[in-house]
Structure 1
Protein backbone atom coordinates (compact mmCIF):
# COMPACT_ATOMS: atom_id res chain seq x y z
CA UNK A 1 0.00 0.00 0.00
CA UNK A 2 1.40 3.37 -0.91
CA UNK A 3 0.97 6.32 1.41
CA UNK A 4 -1.65 7.81 -0.90
CA UNK A 5 -3.88 4.73 -1.14
CA UNK A 6 -6.98 4.55 1.02
CA UNK A 7 -6.22 3.21 4.49
CA UNK A 8 -7.76 -0.15 5.19
CA UNK A 9 -9.14 -0.22 8.72
CA UNK A 10 -10.13 -3.20 10.84
CA UNK A 11 -13.24 -3.01 12.99
CA UNK A 12 -12.74 -4.82 16.28
CA UNK A 13 -15.34 -7.30 17.43
CA UNK A 14 -15.29 -9.55 20.51
CA UNK A 15 -13.54 -12.39 18.62
CA UNK A 16 -10.79 -10.25 17.06
CA UNK A 17 -10.29 -8.40 20.34
CA UNK A 18 -9.15 -11.71 21.88
CA UNK A 19 -6.28 -11.77 19.41
CA UNK A 20 -5.20 -8.19 20.01
CA UNK A 21 -5.85 -7.42 23.69
CA UNK A 22 -2.29 -7.85 24.92
CA UNK A 23 0.23 -4.99 25.34
CA UNK A 24 3.02 -6.68 23.36
CA UNK A 25 0.68 -7.64 20.50
CA UNK A 26 -0.54 -4.08 20.30
CA UNK A 27 3.08 -2.82 20.21
CA UNK A 28 4.02 -5.36 17.52
CA UNK A 29 1.09 -4.39 15.32
CA UNK A 30 1.74 -0.68 15.76
CA UNK A 31 5.44 -1.13 14.95
CA UNK A 32 4.67 -3.07 11.77
CA UNK A 33 2.19 -0.38 10.71
CA UNK A 34 4.60 2.47 11.32
CA UNK A 35 7.89 0.91 10.22
CA UNK A 36 6.86 -1.71 7.68
CA UNK A 37 7.63 -5.43 7.44
CA UNK A 38 10.07 -7.00 9.89
CA UNK A 39 11.14 -10.33 11.38
CA UNK A 40 10.38 -11.48 14.91
CA UNK A 41 14.06 -10.95 15.80
CA UNK A 42 14.10 -7.39 14.45
CA UNK A 43 10.91 -6.59 16.36
CA UNK A 44 12.32 -8.18 19.52
CA UNK A 45 15.42 -5.98 19.34
CA UNK A 46 13.38 -2.85 18.64
CA UNK A 47 10.93 -3.51 21.51
CA UNK A 48 13.38 -4.95 24.04
CA UNK A 49 11.70 -8.37 24.08
CA UNK A 50 12.86 -11.92 23.42
CA UNK A 51 12.46 -13.23 19.88
CA UNK A 52 10.55 -16.20 21.32
CA UNK A 53 7.95 -13.83 22.80
CA UNK A 54 7.64 -11.74 19.64
CA UNK A 55 7.40 -14.85 17.48
CA UNK A 56 4.63 -16.32 19.66
CA UNK A 57 2.61 -13.10 19.70
CA UNK A 58 3.06 -12.56 15.95
CA UNK A 59 1.58 -16.03 15.36
CA UNK A 60 -1.37 -15.09 17.60
CA UNK A 61 -1.88 -11.87 15.65
CA UNK A 62 -1.74 -13.86 12.39
CA UNK A 63 -4.31 -16.36 13.67
CA UNK A 64 -6.71 -13.44 14.16
CA UNK A 65 -5.91 -11.80 10.80
CA UNK A 66 -3.96 -8.76 12.04
CA UNK A 67 -0.61 -9.68 10.45
CA UNK A 68 0.49 -11.88 7.57
CA UNK A 69 3.65 -13.21 5.98
CA UNK A 70 5.67 -10.81 3.83
CA UNK A 71 7.56 -13.41 1.76
CA UNK A 72 8.98 -10.85 -0.68
CA UNK A 73 11.26 -9.65 2.13
CA UNK A 74 12.46 -13.06 3.32
CA UNK A 75 15.81 -14.58 2.61
CA UNK A 76 16.33 -18.21 3.50
CA UNK A 77 14.54 -19.24 6.67
CA UNK A 78 13.75 -15.75 7.93
CA UNK A 79 10.02 -15.15 8.31
CA UNK A 80 8.96 -11.58 7.64
CA UNK A 81 5.67 -10.14 8.86
CA UNK A 82 3.54 -7.18 7.79
CA UNK A 83 0.37 -5.56 9.09
CA UNK A 84 -2.77 -6.50 7.19
CA UNK A 85 -4.54 -3.19 7.81
CA UNK A 86 -3.50 0.31 8.81
CA UNK A 87 -5.98 1.17 11.51
CA UNK A 88 -8.32 -0.13 14.19
CA UNK A 89 -11.89 0.98 14.75
CA UNK A 90 -13.22 0.33 18.26
CA UNK A 91 -16.95 1.00 18.62
CA UNK A 92 -18.41 0.45 22.10
CA UNK A 93 -21.73 -0.50 20.47
CA UNK A 94 -20.10 -3.71 19.20
CA UNK A 95 -19.41 -4.77 22.80
CA UNK A 96 -22.82 -4.22 24.39
CA UNK A 97 -24.06 -7.28 26.22
CA UNK A 98 -20.74 -9.14 26.16
CA UNK A 99 -19.61 -11.15 29.15
CA UNK A 100 -17.15 -10.03 31.82
CA UNK A 101 -14.13 -11.63 30.13
CA UNK A 102 -14.63 -9.66 26.91
CA UNK A 103 -15.46 -6.48 28.86
CA UNK A 104 -12.17 -6.93 30.73
CA UNK A 105 -10.26 -7.34 27.45
CA UNK A 106 -11.96 -4.24 26.04
CA UNK A 107 -10.95 -2.24 29.11
CA UNK A 108 -7.38 -3.51 28.89
CA UNK A 109 -7.25 -2.61 25.18
CA UNK A 110 -8.55 0.92 25.76
CA UNK A 111 -6.21 1.53 28.69
CA UNK A 112 -3.25 0.31 26.65
CA UNK A 113 -4.21 2.73 23.84
CA UNK A 114 -4.27 5.55 26.42
CA UNK A 115 -0.91 4.41 27.85
CA UNK A 116 0.58 4.35 24.35
CA UNK A 117 -0.61 7.90 23.73
CA UNK A 118 0.96 9.04 27.00
CA UNK A 119 4.27 7.27 26.21
CA UNK A 120 4.41 8.76 22.71
CA UNK A 121 3.75 12.26 24.02
CA UNK A 122 6.36 11.84 26.77
CA UNK A 123 8.87 10.62 24.16
CA UNK A 124 8.20 13.69 22.02
CA UNK A 125 8.64 16.01 25.00
CA UNK A 126 11.93 14.44 25.99
CA UNK A 127 13.34 14.44 22.44
CA UNK A 128 11.89 17.66 20.96
CA UNK A 129 15.23 19.47 21.20
CA UNK A 130 16.60 17.05 18.58
CA UNK A 131 14.15 18.39 15.97
CA UNK A 132 14.48 21.50 13.86
CA UNK A 133 12.97 24.80 14.96
CA UNK A 134 10.54 24.47 12.06
CA UNK A 135 9.27 21.12 13.36
CA UNK A 136 9.10 22.43 16.92
CA UNK A 137 6.88 25.32 15.78
CA UNK A 138 4.66 22.90 13.81
CA UNK A 139 3.58 20.73 16.75
CA UNK A 140 0.63 21.06 19.10
CA UNK A 141 -0.22 20.03 22.62
CA UNK A 142 -3.44 21.72 23.61
CA UNK A 143 -6.76 21.12 25.29
CA UNK A 144 -10.15 22.77 25.48
CA UNK A 145 -13.15 22.39 27.75
CA UNK A 146 -16.70 23.39 26.82
CA UNK A 147 -20.26 22.04 26.92
CA UNK A 148 -21.71 19.86 24.15
CA UNK A 149 -24.57 17.43 23.75
CA UNK A 150 -23.72 13.85 22.75
CA UNK A 151 -24.89 14.68 19.21
CA UNK A 152 -22.63 17.72 18.94
CA UNK A 153 -19.72 15.74 20.40
CA UNK A 154 -20.21 13.01 17.76
CA UNK A 155 -20.37 15.68 15.05
CA UNK A 156 -17.13 17.25 16.29
CA UNK A 157 -15.35 13.88 16.32
CA UNK A 158 -16.53 13.17 12.76
CA UNK A 159 -15.28 16.58 11.59
CA UNK A 160 -11.89 16.12 13.30
CA UNK A 161 -11.49 12.74 11.60
CA UNK A 162 -12.49 14.23 8.24
CA UNK A 163 -9.79 16.92 8.58
CA UNK A 164 -7.22 14.26 9.48
CA UNK A 165 -8.20 12.14 6.46
CA UNK A 166 -7.93 15.20 4.20
CA UNK A 167 -4.35 15.80 5.37
CA UNK A 168 -3.53 12.10 5.10
CA UNK A 169 -4.60 12.17 1.44
CA UNK A 170 -2.42 15.27 0.90
CA UNK A 171 0.52 13.69 2.72
CA UNK A 172 3.94 13.32 1.18
CA UNK A 173 5.99 10.27 0.35
CA UNK A 174 9.28 9.33 1.98
CA UNK A 175 11.30 11.04 -0.78
CA UNK A 176 9.88 14.51 -0.08
CA UNK A 177 12.57 16.67 1.58
CA UNK A 178 11.65 17.65 5.14
CA UNK A 179 8.76 15.21 5.44
CA UNK A 180 8.45 13.08 8.56
CA UNK A 181 5.87 10.67 9.95
CA UNK A 182 3.61 12.53 12.37
CA UNK A 183 1.43 11.14 15.14
CA UNK A 184 -1.96 12.63 15.94
CA UNK A 185 -3.94 11.75 19.07
CA UNK A 186 -7.53 12.84 19.44
CA UNK A 187 -9.52 12.47 22.65
CA UNK A 188 -13.00 13.74 23.37
CA UNK A 189 -14.80 12.67 26.55
CA UNK A 190 -17.16 14.11 29.15
CA UNK A 191 -15.78 15.21 32.53
CA UNK A 192 -17.47 15.53 35.88
CA UNK A 193 -17.70 19.12 37.08
CA UNK A 194 -19.11 18.52 40.56
Structure 2
Protein backbone atom coordinates (compact mmCIF):
# COMPACT_ATOMS: atom_id res chain seq x y z
CA UNK A 1 0.00 0.00 0.00
CA UNK A 2 1.18 3.52 -0.66
CA UNK A 3 1.88 5.75 2.33
CA UNK A 4 -0.81 8.40 2.74
CA UNK A 5 0.11 12.06 2.40
CA UNK A 6 -0.74 12.63 6.08
CA UNK A 7 2.53 12.90 8.03
CA UNK A 8 0.62 11.61 11.07
CA UNK A 9 0.52 8.15 9.48
CA UNK A 10 3.57 5.95 9.90
CA UNK A 11 4.65 3.44 7.29
CA UNK A 12 5.86 0.26 8.99
CA UNK A 13 9.27 -0.99 7.92
CA UNK A 14 11.05 -4.19 8.96
CA UNK A 15 12.62 -2.67 12.11
CA UNK A 16 9.50 -0.88 13.36
CA UNK A 17 7.33 -3.89 12.58
CA UNK A 18 9.49 -6.11 14.80
CA UNK A 19 9.07 -3.54 17.58
CA UNK A 20 5.29 -3.46 17.27
CA UNK A 21 4.34 -7.05 16.41
CA UNK A 22 3.39 -8.17 19.90
CA UNK A 23 -0.24 -8.53 21.06
CA UNK A 24 0.12 -6.31 24.15
CA UNK A 25 2.11 -3.64 22.32
CA UNK A 26 -0.56 -3.42 19.64
CA UNK A 27 -3.27 -3.17 22.31
CA UNK A 28 -1.34 -0.45 24.14
CA UNK A 29 -0.83 1.55 20.96
CA UNK A 30 -4.51 1.28 20.03
CA UNK A 31 -5.54 2.31 23.56
CA UNK A 32 -3.38 5.44 23.30
CA UNK A 33 -4.40 6.23 19.71
CA UNK A 34 -8.12 5.94 20.38
CA UNK A 35 -8.36 6.78 24.08
CA UNK A 36 -5.74 9.49 24.39
CA UNK A 37 -2.80 9.83 26.77
CA UNK A 38 -2.60 7.52 29.79
CA UNK A 39 -0.23 6.14 32.40
CA UNK A 40 1.10 2.59 32.44
CA UNK A 41 -1.10 1.89 35.49
CA UNK A 42 -4.24 3.18 33.77
CA UNK A 43 -3.48 1.08 30.70
CA UNK A 44 -2.76 -1.98 32.86
CA UNK A 45 -6.15 -1.66 34.52
CA UNK A 46 -7.91 -1.10 31.19
CA UNK A 47 -6.23 -4.08 29.51
CA UNK A 48 -6.16 -6.45 32.48
CA UNK A 49 -2.36 -6.56 32.63
CA UNK A 50 0.24 -5.81 35.28
CA UNK A 51 1.66 -2.29 35.36
CA UNK A 52 5.13 -3.85 35.09
CA UNK A 53 4.20 -5.46 31.77
CA UNK A 54 2.59 -2.31 30.40
CA UNK A 55 5.58 -0.19 31.51
CA UNK A 56 8.03 -2.54 29.80
CA UNK A 57 6.09 -2.67 26.54
CA UNK A 58 5.47 1.10 26.53
CA UNK A 59 9.24 1.61 26.76
CA UNK A 60 9.71 -0.78 23.82
CA UNK A 61 7.09 1.12 21.81
CA UNK A 62 8.90 4.37 22.66
CA UNK A 63 12.25 2.93 21.54
CA UNK A 64 10.66 2.26 18.14
CA UNK A 65 9.02 5.70 17.91
CA UNK A 66 5.38 4.65 18.34
CA UNK A 67 4.73 6.39 21.67
CA UNK A 68 6.26 9.31 23.53
CA UNK A 69 6.05 11.00 26.90
CA UNK A 70 3.11 13.34 27.43
CA UNK A 71 4.72 15.58 30.07
CA UNK A 72 1.88 18.11 29.89
CA UNK A 73 -0.37 15.49 31.53
CA UNK A 74 1.90 14.25 34.31
CA UNK A 75 2.09 15.44 37.88
CA UNK A 76 5.17 14.72 39.95
CA UNK A 77 6.64 11.32 39.13
CA UNK A 78 3.57 10.19 37.18
CA UNK A 79 4.60 9.28 33.61
CA UNK A 80 2.00 9.76 30.91
CA UNK A 81 2.28 8.30 27.41
CA UNK A 82 0.73 9.33 24.10
CA UNK A 83 0.65 7.87 20.60
CA UNK A 84 2.96 9.60 18.13
CA UNK A 85 0.99 8.81 14.96
CA UNK A 86 -2.72 8.72 14.16
CA UNK A 87 -2.39 5.67 11.93
CA UNK A 88 -0.16 3.01 10.43
CA UNK A 89 0.35 1.63 6.95
CA UNK A 90 1.63 -1.83 6.17
CA UNK A 91 3.81 -2.63 3.15
CA UNK A 92 2.89 -6.03 1.70
CA UNK A 93 6.56 -6.66 0.83
CA UNK A 94 7.15 -7.36 4.55
CA UNK A 95 5.29 -10.66 4.04
CA UNK A 96 7.94 -11.80 1.55
CA UNK A 97 11.02 -10.32 3.26
CA UNK A 98 14.12 -12.53 3.11
CA UNK A 99 14.38 -12.44 6.92
CA UNK A 100 12.05 -15.04 8.48
CA UNK A 101 11.72 -12.94 11.67
CA UNK A 102 10.31 -10.07 9.58
CA UNK A 103 7.85 -12.42 7.87
CA UNK A 104 6.84 -13.80 11.28
CA UNK A 105 6.38 -10.31 12.69
CA UNK A 106 4.27 -9.40 9.64
CA UNK A 107 2.04 -12.42 10.25
CA UNK A 108 1.66 -11.58 13.94
CA UNK A 109 0.83 -7.97 13.11
CA UNK A 110 -1.82 -8.87 10.52
CA UNK A 111 -3.47 -11.52 12.70
CA UNK A 112 -3.54 -9.23 15.72
CA UNK A 113 -4.98 -6.39 13.62
CA UNK A 114 -7.69 -8.72 12.27
CA UNK A 115 -8.49 -9.96 15.79
CA UNK A 116 -8.73 -6.38 17.02
CA UNK A 117 -11.16 -5.50 14.24
CA UNK A 118 -13.35 -8.49 15.11
CA UNK A 119 -13.25 -7.45 18.78
CA UNK A 120 -14.28 -3.88 17.85
CA UNK A 121 -17.33 -5.18 16.01
CA UNK A 122 -18.22 -7.68 18.75
CA UNK A 123 -18.00 -4.94 21.37
CA UNK A 124 -20.34 -2.75 19.33
CA UNK A 125 -22.83 -5.58 18.89
CA UNK A 126 -22.78 -6.28 22.63
CA UNK A 127 -23.15 -2.62 23.64
CA UNK A 128 -25.24 -1.13 20.85
CA UNK A 129 -28.43 -0.91 22.92
CA UNK A 130 -26.65 1.52 25.27
CA UNK A 131 -26.20 3.96 22.39
CA UNK A 132 -28.82 6.54 21.35
CA UNK A 133 -31.36 5.50 18.70
CA UNK A 134 -29.64 7.76 16.14
CA UNK A 135 -26.49 5.62 16.29
CA UNK A 136 -28.46 2.37 16.19
CA UNK A 137 -29.90 3.43 12.82
CA UNK A 138 -26.58 4.22 11.13
CA UNK A 139 -24.18 1.38 11.85
CA UNK A 140 -23.19 -1.08 9.13
CA UNK A 141 -22.00 -4.65 8.88
CA UNK A 142 -22.17 -5.52 5.21
CA UNK A 143 -20.64 -8.12 2.99
CA UNK A 144 -20.53 -8.46 -0.76
CA UNK A 145 -18.80 -10.66 -3.28
CA UNK A 146 -17.55 -9.33 -6.60
CA UNK A 147 -15.50 -10.81 -9.40
CA UNK A 148 -12.50 -8.53 -10.01
CA UNK A 149 -9.02 -8.58 -11.50
CA UNK A 150 -6.09 -7.61 -9.23
CA UNK A 151 -5.99 -4.19 -10.93
CA UNK A 152 -9.69 -3.65 -10.30
CA UNK A 153 -9.27 -4.76 -6.69
CA UNK A 154 -6.49 -2.18 -6.19
CA UNK A 155 -8.65 0.50 -7.82
CA UNK A 156 -11.56 -0.33 -5.49
CA UNK A 157 -9.29 -0.23 -2.42
CA UNK A 158 -7.91 3.17 -3.49
CA UNK A 159 -11.41 4.55 -4.07
CA UNK A 160 -12.64 3.32 -0.67
CA UNK A 161 -9.63 4.89 1.05
CA UNK A 162 -10.26 8.16 -0.81
CA UNK A 163 -13.86 8.22 0.43
CA UNK A 164 -12.69 7.73 4.03
CA UNK A 165 -10.00 10.40 3.60
CA UNK A 166 -12.67 12.79 2.33
CA UNK A 167 -14.66 12.32 5.53
CA UNK A 168 -11.50 12.74 7.62
CA UNK A 169 -11.11 16.18 6.04
CA UNK A 170 -14.71 17.01 6.98
CA UNK A 171 -14.54 15.75 10.57
CA UNK A 172 -16.45 17.98 13.01
CA UNK A 173 -14.76 19.63 15.98
CA UNK A 174 -14.32 17.51 19.11
CA UNK A 175 -17.03 19.42 20.99
CA UNK A 176 -19.68 19.02 18.25
CA UNK A 177 -22.89 17.60 19.78
CA UNK A 178 -23.74 14.05 18.68
CA UNK A 179 -20.31 13.57 17.02
CA UNK A 180 -18.55 10.35 18.06
CA UNK A 181 -15.47 8.48 16.94
CA UNK A 182 -16.45 5.77 14.48
CA UNK A 183 -14.41 2.76 13.44
CA UNK A 184 -14.30 1.86 9.77
CA UNK A 185 -13.01 -1.53 8.69
CA UNK A 186 -12.52 -2.46 5.07
CA UNK A 187 -11.48 -5.93 3.96
CA UNK A 188 -10.90 -7.05 0.41
CA UNK A 189 -9.42 -10.47 -0.26
CA UNK A 190 -9.91 -13.30 -2.76
CA UNK A 191 -11.98 -16.34 -1.82
CA UNK A 192 -12.08 -19.80 -3.28
CA UNK A 193 -15.31 -20.73 -4.96
CA UNK A 194 -16.63 -24.14 -5.96
TM-score range, shorter chain: over 0.9
In the alignment, does 2:136 pair up with 1:136? yes
Mapping for residues 1-194 of structure 1, pairs under 5 Å:
6=6, 8-194=8-194
1:37–1:70 CA contact under 8 A, matched in 2: yes
2:40–2:54 CA contact under 8 A, matched in 1: yes
RMSD: 1.1
2:94–2:106 CA contact under 8 A, matched in 1: no
1:68–1:84 CA contact under 8 A, matched in 2: yes
2:95–2:107 CA contact under 8 A, matched in 1: no
How far did residue 93 of structure 1 move? 2.1
1:7–1:86 CA contact under 8 A, matched in 2: no
Aligned residue pairs, count: 189
How far did residue 111 of structure 1 move? 0.4
Taking the aligned partners of 1:95 and 1:106, their CA distance within structure 2 comes to 6
Taking the aligned partners of 1:11 and 1:124, their CA distance within structure 2 comes to 28
TM-score, L = length of structure 1: 0.94
Taking the aligned partners of 1:43 and 1:98, their CA distance within structure 2 comes to 35
TM-score, L = length of structure 2: 0.94
Deviation per CA, 1:101-147: give whole Å up to 9, x if none. 21111111100001001111111111111111110111100010010
- Give the unaligned 5+ runs of structure 1: 1-5
How far did residue 94 of structure 1 move? 4.2
